[in-house]
Structure 1
Amino acid sequence: MNETLTVADGRTQLRMERALAHPAEKVWRALTEPSELSRWFPAAVELDLRLDGPISFTFPDGEDDFVEDPDNTGVIRAFDPPRLLEYTWGVEVLRWELEPTADGCLLTLTATFDDRPGSASFTSGWTICFDALDRVLGGSAVPEKDYAELHEYYVKAYGLDQGEVLDDGSIRFERQLIRPKELVWSVLTGAEAAAIGSTPPAGFVAKGIEPGPVEELTEPTRLAYSSPQGEVAWSLRDGNGGARLVVTQAGPAGEYLAAWHDLIESLAGALINQR
C-alpha cells in the first residue's frame, strides 16, 4: 500500500495504491456490484451504474461516518469500465482507477475531502477495506490490521499531531481520537471531578500551565479555565471513528506548544488500550 496526502485546489487529497493479484475485470465487479460491495465496502451501496447516475450509501444500525454533514448520496461523475469510476459521497469525491499489470492490476483510490484532521481515520478505514477487498477476491492470507494502531501511525506520518500558532499568538490543536468522547472525558478526569469554580483535573493541564478555576463546563464536551498563561479551552465532539478534540490557549502561547503536544499525545496513547 502506498499513501500520499496532498492539497489540491484548497482541498485535502488522499491517494492510495494497492497491487492486486486479480484481473481488472474481476476487481471492477467488486467495485460496482452491490452484492460484491457489501462484502468489503464500509456502507451498503445502491447505484445506477452510468454517467450521472445517482448513488446512495446506507450504514448498518443507523451509523454514519459523516457526523457533521450526514449526506449519504452522490452522483457518478466518471464511468469507463473496467478502468475508471468516480463519484461523489456528500461533499467527498472518490475516484477509483484500475490499471492492468503482469500479475493482475493496480488499484488506485483518490479521495478528495475537506476534513484534513480526519485524514488518518480515512486512511486507516480504507486500508482495512482494501484488505477486506483482497480477501473477498481470494487473497485469504491478508491479515486483519488493528484500526487503533493504524490510526495512530498515520497521525504521526501525516503530522496531524502538530498544533499551530495562530496570527494572534494563540495556539490550537485539532486531534482525531480513536475512542468516543464519553470515554475520552473519563480518561481526562480520572478520579477527579470537574466542577465550575474548582481547579480542573490534572488531565486538562499541560506542563508549565498554572490552572485557575473552571469557568465553563459541559460534560463530556467542553471545559475551559483561566490561567496566567492564557485561557485554556478543551472541546470534544463526535468525529470519524471517535471523538474530535480541539484544545486552544489564548496568546501569546507559542512557548507552550510542545507541552500541549506531549499532553495530547499521552492522552491518545492511553486511549489505545481503553475500550
Structure 2
Amino acid sequence: MAADLTGTYLTLDDGRSAVRFSRTYDHPIERVWQFVTDAEELAQWFPSRAEIDPRPGGTITFSGDPNMPESTGRVLALDEPRHLSFEWGGDELHFDLEALDDKRTRFTLTNVLQAADTAARNGAGWEVCLAALDAKARGEAFEGPHAGANAPWKEFYAAYLDAGVPSGAPVPGLD
C-alpha cells in the first residue's frame, strides 16, 4: 500500500521548485510559533537542532543531523508570529502561520529547493518530520526517529517517485 502523501510539488512564480505542506493545529498561533522557533521545540521534530537568532539577517546554527555536517544559515525574513524564512543547506524554508480563530492555526511549510531533483527526497523527509510535529501538537510522543537514515521515510520516498515528483539527488541510506 502506498503512503498517503501530504506534500505538493510546485513551481513558484520565480521559477524555483518547491515542496509545500499544510496542517491545521488546535493551538493558538503563539503556541505554533514556539514549535517553529524555540530550539527545544524544534529538536523534537526538525531534522537538525536549530539555534535561531530571531531577526532578519540573524544566524541559525544547525547541528545534530547525522546526514549533514554542522552548518549555519541566515534568517531571510521574520514577522512574529506569522512568518519565518531562512536558508538551510542551500534551500530556503518558509514557515507561514495563520490564526484561524483563537485556538486553531494553519501551519504551512514551503521548502524552496536549490535543485528540483531533491523534491522527492526532501518531501519524504518532511513527511516523517511533520508526523513528529503532528504528534507533538496532539500531546503524543512520536515513536521512532524523525530524522536520519533510520527514519521511516522510504515508503514516502517511493510514493513521491510513483507520483512523478522530481528525483535523482543522492539519498542518505540508499546511495
TM-score of the aligned structures, taking structure 2 as reference length? 0.80
Matched, 1:151 2:170: no
Name the counterpart of 1:270: none
The Cα offsets for residues 191-231 of structure 1, whole Å up to 9 and x where unpaired, read as xxxxxxxxxxxxxxxxxxxxxxxxxxxxxxxxxxxxxxxxx
Alpha-carbon deviations, 1:52-100, whole Å to 9, x = none? 111111125xx234xxxx6831111111111100111132100000011
Q: Distance in 1 between matches of 2:67 and 2:152?
A: 21
Cross-structure match for 1:189: none
Q: Contact 2:18 / 2:111 at 8 angstroms: preserved in 1?
A: yes
Per-residue Cα deviation, 1:120-176 (whole angstroms, up to 9, x for no partner):
12111111111111222334398879411111001111344xxxxxxxxxxxxx645
Once the two structures are superposed, the pairs formed by residues 37-186 of structure 1 within 5 Å of their partners are 37-60=42-65, 63-65=66-68, 72-102=71-101, 104-140=104-140, 146-160=152-166, 175=168
Deviation of the 1:107 alpha carbon: 0.5
Q: d(CA) in 2 for partners of 1:13 and 1:71?
A: 24
Letter in 2 for 1:83: R
Q: Would the aligned equivalents of 2:119 and 2:165 in 1 still touch at CA under 8 Å?
A: no
Does structure 1 retain, via aligned residues, the 8 Å contact 2:136–2:142? no
Code of the aligned partner of 2:10: T
The one of 19, 28, 53 aligned to 1:14: 19
Structure with max Cα Rg: 1
Equivalent AA in structure 1 for residue 61 of structure 2: S
Larger mean CA deviation between 81-90 and 1-10 belongs to 1-10
User: Matched residue pairs, number?
Assistant: 163
Are the aligned partners of 2:127 and 2:153 in contact in 1 as well (CA < 8 Å)? no
Structure number with the higher helix fraction is 1
**Is the Cα–Cα contact under 8 Å of residues 94 and 112 in structure 1 kept in the other structure?**
yes
SS at 1:158's partner residue?
Answer: coil
The alignment's TM-score, normalised by the length of structure 1, stands at 0.53
Partner of 1:5: 9
Query: Which piece of structure 1 moves more, 129-138 or 6-15?
Result: 6-15
Question: Which structure 1 residue ranges, 5 or more long, are not aligned?
Answer: 161-173, 177-238, 245-275
- Do the aligned residues in 2 keep the contact of 1:93 with 1:111 (CA within 8 Å)? yes
Instruction: Please provide the CA RMSD for this pair.
Output: 2.5
Percent same amino acid among aligned pairs?
32
